Amino acid sequence: MTDPQASQHHEHHLRTPTSELPHEEKIKRQRRHLQILTGVMLLVLAMLVYAALSDLDSWAEWVVFGGICATAVGAVVAVNTAD
């Protein structure tokens, strides 16, 4: 049971919009977002490799898969060299 006269103040922590942050904080936030994006892209790439090894039968499917992998690796390189 709670005391009805006790203060029930809960502090809310809202994120500051990126546009209102100082430059250093903007850079830190962008780096974190890029790390998350890179991790997600690598996870998707790993899932594609697994699917390819278990399902691709013809050379045409492998060519398309190679194009997808090259694009994903290129995106990871582009994101990480944007510093």
> What pLDDT does 67 receive?
92
* pLDDT above 90 coverage of the chain, percent: 7
Q: Which residues of the chain have pLDDT under 50?
A: none
pLDDT digits (tens, 9 = 90+) for 28-40: 888 888 889 888 9
Helices 59-80 and 23-55, axial angle in degrees (round to 10): 170
What is the residue extent of each domain of the chain? 21-80
Rounded distance, CA 62 to CA 66, Å?
6
Rounded distance, CA 65 to CA 47, Å?
12
Are the C-beta atoms of residues 68 and 56 closer than 8 Å to each other? Answer: no
Are the C-beta atoms of residues 69 and 46 closer than 8 Å to each other? Answer: no
Q: Which H or E element spans position 33?
A: helix 23-55
